[in-house]
Structure 1
Amino acid sequence: MLALDGAGGHKASRLDMVNSRFRQTMRAQIGPSKMDSTFAMLGLWVALCLRGVSAANFDSWSLILLEDAAAEGAVCLDGSPGGYFFEPGSGTGAQKWIIHFQGGGWCTSLAACFLASESPLGSSATWAAQKDALLGDFAHGYMSNQAEVNPDMYNWNKVWALYCDGGSRAGNVDGPVTVDDSGSVYFRGAHILNATLDSLASAGLTGADDLIVTGESAGGLTALLHVDFISSRFPGVKVVVGMNYCGFFVDLPDAQGMHGQAEVWKWVFVTMNMRYSPSLSTDCFDAYADTPWQCFLAPNQLPFVKTPLFVLHSLYDSWQSSQTLQLPSGCVIEGTCSQEERDLLHSLRDAVSGNLSSLQAPSSYFLHSCVGHCELGLNDFGWTGLVVKGTSLREAFRSWLGGQSVFLSEGDVDPNANPTCAAAHVEPEGPDPVPLVTSGQYEVLGQAVNQGSTDPEIREFMEFVHDPTNFNLGMDGHVDVSENTVFWGVLGII
């Protein structure tokens, strides 16, 4: 499909990965039984703030705020302008683009949306100060500008579309929505999406050779929902493809037979008026005329996606096991699940693989058994070291971009059956890392902390993670939480 150029000679940036023992300890302390499963918005942000910055230099990236479009309603939850980080392409990548939509869940009640509006997942107020923290966490793997890590796309034009609307860029409510006595919020994700595309058109995307539309978690859902619309906005681009990365959320009952997460998605869809979002599939709405909210679910939307799509996903996605299935996280990590819990886990595996079995070329998938959410594609070691059936993730994606059919799945295996899972999560060389929290792995921490609690320790913790001066602590510029009493105090009360 795409013409690719190999390259080399650039030193790969170090990527800081979590100590696996610390990961297990954390999971055991913050099981989903203590979580508010309907509040998913702020988790990834809290996690990435805790993880901190890498040693890489991100001066080549610029923050673009959509200030003119804000006057027309393209605003975040708090009414501030949307925006994105941009790194220009060069050389053989000058006419090639990759747009990555940042994830971060969905705000799932008006109170939660208002709380999110006071954070970087609902406001652009602190984005400039937090550029290095964000890019240090995410500008790796397939978004890396290092040729040794990412030889096919290292020099492409890269767009990191920041997330601040709470609804996977599909909200379409005309005016502010009042939140009790707190204030108001805006649900204008569809307008931010359009304004972003307008800005990128002015930056040169209109005449591009190649475009990859991707994203992680709620941003991966964004890519799946909107890739056809984005393709239609740029008819002059020679090749457009999409990638859904850790954003293929399925509707399953939990141990009590409840479909609680589906009710969350329904609330988001209806409250944010997504039925009238111009970027969503009318074919899907016709098929689900009586229940249009179901078009917000990836498996239901998938048959209507016309753009070639690559799905990168875990068969045992940790977000879905904790939030959708309501499983205790310790049982998955430590292998102590009961038979009933194992059956639920297998239902997740079977639902992901079963719904994707209908994919046909030129679409493809790469499905692995590693327990996690969004750690691997934006991780240098996962991008290069995760292997399924003898093919690494990077090799599989490159082959697919080159026009080959790539349908790789581990099949009916147990969690972490793949021997490359551990290597893909941990830096192969260097000293043992200090205890760090990585993006994706501890989104549940944020869900527990950000329930709107007025507990002073929780509020103090919120202030800590939202203060950019706290991001450059610890060895190699990473946030070391091992001695942070605020952090551990929060763990003691959630």
Structure 2
Amino acid sequence: MIGARLIHQQWLSIVICGLILLKADAGSVGITYLQNAVAKGAVCLDGSPPAYHFDKGFGAGVDNWLVHMEGGGWCEDVAKCVSRRNTDLGSSKQMVKQFGFSGLLSSQQKSNPDFYNWNRIKVRYCDGSSFTGDVEAVDPANNLFFRGNRIWEVIIEDLLAKGMRNAKNAILSGCSAGGLASILHCDRFRSLLPATTKVKCISDAGFFMHANDVSGGKHIEEFYGKVARLHGSVKNLPASCTSRMKMKPELCFFPQYVVQTMQTPIFFINAAYDSWQIKNVLAPTAVDSGKAWKSCKLDLTKCTPAQLKIIQDFRTQMLSALSGGVNSSSRGLFIDSCYAHCQAGKQITWSSDSSPAVGNTKIAKAVGDWYYERSPVQKIDCPYPCNPSCPKVDDSD
């Protein structure tokens, strides 16, 4: 009986140690709430304080800062914002207290050799406007606050006070809606740091295209227009863009117009067949009443030849848009031919044995080579379905 108990205790100890090791590998990082931001009106949709997770730098990376903005779509009308308000995309009250850092944010040298010891921050997303909104009045009927730009400003201000103002190196990055935010706020981020700081930006799956949908309509243009009007975003979009797009300044939500006058070096990580964009820009359900695209947009192997032609044309439009801009020589690209969305935040796609590669180069190496200027990086994959390193699409998706 005693022997059995000892064996049980030994096994229990092994399990607990294993869980601790797993937690360490995942890089679990605690949450920081900016309670003093509430007085400045810099709040989530529900009025709760903004939040971020901060893993401090060490060793040679102690003066280097990587600020990564979370993604999670947008809310374009009051009803959609109300539906987000009581989730972690609208309230810091609903956010997990610990967040696992992986990929670009990993603290493991082997898997993230260029940035593992930097100060790494994950900014939580709770405003629904890619951190662009600022409406003074509160929606009284629904108690909604549209203050995304204020959230961005107070968090950057807080990080500057915590040492980022002395940064030697700094990166503003993000995934999806956060990847769009990293484009929209890139030059402003540069302006807030010393001239001596080496500042660059990274957009992961944030290059959303201004393109017609399969019906010939402008679904995504109308969608972003609604977001901009509801959140009061236009005044916080890059002035270098809105001054040129005076008739439709809300079009500066689209990166292809912003990058034309961007001054800060930026790296674009994007799937040429971005799964979110194929589902929501190219073939949104709203314009596919006959459900002809239902199977195709979940799995490219199920597309008809005619559908694949439309998808290949969409890729061509994206590559053309990415090539524009006055500062294109400092622009880095990793455009793989995978059917994916957001690839830098997960170890499996960032730098693992099974990560997608373009020309034998994985995302982590491409980004590091570009940031440290070890070599120019403009990796553009061949057209689908040429890349065997792309992950297979799960039929249950």
TM-score range, shorter chain: 0.7 to 0.9
Q: Is the 8 A contact 2:86 2:94 kept in 1?
A: no
Counterpart pick for 2:281 among 304, 324, 336? 324
**Matched letter for residue 208 of structure 2:** F
Aligned to 1:401: 371
Task: Map 1:425-440; keep pairs closer than 5 Å.
Answer: none
1:294 pairs with 2:268? no
What SS does structure 2 have at the residue aligned with 1:125? helix
Residues 215-258 of structure 1: CA distance to partner in whole angstroms, max 9, x if unpaired? 00000000000011111111255100001110100022222111
Task: Give the TM-score taking structure 2 as reference length.
Answer: 0.86
Tell me if the contact between 2:76 and 2:230 (Cα under 8 Å) persists in the aligned partners. no
Aligned residues: 361
Q: Deviations over 1:51-93 (max 9, x none)?
A: xxx9333676232111111111000000111111101000011
- SS of residue paired to 1:293: helix
1:173 to 115, 129, 135: 135
Distance in structure 2 (CA, Å) of the matches to 1:263 and 1:212: 31
- Secondary structure (helix, strand or coil) at the match of 1:370 reads coil
How is 1:430-469 mapped onto 2 (pairs within 5 angstroms)? none
Q: Which residue of 2 aligns with 1:93?
A: 61
Q: CA deviation at 1:386?
A: 2.0
Counterpart in the other structure of 1:204: 163
Q: Which has the higher contact order (CA 8 A, sep 6+)?
A: 1
Rounded to whole Å, the distance in 2 between the matches of 1:236 and 1:200 is 17
The runs of at least 4 consecutive aligned structure 1 residues that moved more than 6 Å come to none
Q: Which amino acid aligns with 1:388?
A: V
- 1:254 matched to 2:213: yes
CA contact (8 A) 2:256 2:324 kept: no
Structure 2 residue 97 is the aligned partner of structure 1 residue 131:
yes
Q: For residues 166 and 240 of structure 1, what CA distance do their matches in structure 2 show?
A: 26
In 2, the alpha carbon distance for the partners of 1:329 and 1:162 equals 32
2:306 corresponds in structure 1 to: 340
Kindly provide the amino acid, as one letter, of the partner of residue 338 in structure 1.
T
1:477-488 aligned at under 5 Å gives the runs: none
1:390 CA displacement: 2.3
Letter in 2 for 1:224: I
Once residues 370 and 243 of structure 2 are traced to their aligned partners in structure 1, the CA distance between those partners, rounded to angstroms, is 31
Which residue number in structure 2 is paired with residue 410 of structure 1?
381
Letter in 2 for 1:362: S
What residue ranges of structure 2 are gaps of 5+ in the alignment? 1-20, 285-292
Note if 1:357 corresponds to 2:323: yes
1:241 aligns to what SS in structure 2?
strand
Which stretches in structure 1 are left out of the alignment for 5+ residues?
1-53, 426-434, 443-494
Question: How far apart, CA to CA, are the structure 2 residues paired with 1:264 and 1:55?
Answer: 41
Indicate yes or no: 2:189 matched with 1:225: no
Q: Is the 8 A contact 2:200 2:265 kept in 1?
A: yes
Letter of the structure 2 residue corresponding to residue 289 of structure 1: K
Letter in 1 for 2:107: N
**What displacement does 1:178 show?**
4.1
Whole-Å Cα distance in 2 between the matches of residues 56 and 218 of structure 1?
A: 27
Partner of 2:32: helix, strand, or coil? strand
SS at match of 1:112: helix
1: distance between equivalents of 2:203 and 2:196?
20
Instruction: Report the Cα distance in structure 2 between the residues aligned to 1:140 and 1:330, rounded to whole angstroms.
Output: 31
Distance 1:253 1:283 in 2: 25
TM-score, normalised to structure 1, is 0.70
The residue identity in structure 2 corresponding to 1:409 is I
Larger Rg: 2
Cα distance 1:298–1:334, how it changes in 2: closer, same or farther (>3 A)?
closer
Amino acid at match of 1:305: M
SS in 2 for 1:177: coil
Equivalence map 1:279-318=2 (5 Å): 280-318=237-275
1:329 Cα deviation from its structure 2 partner: 5.1
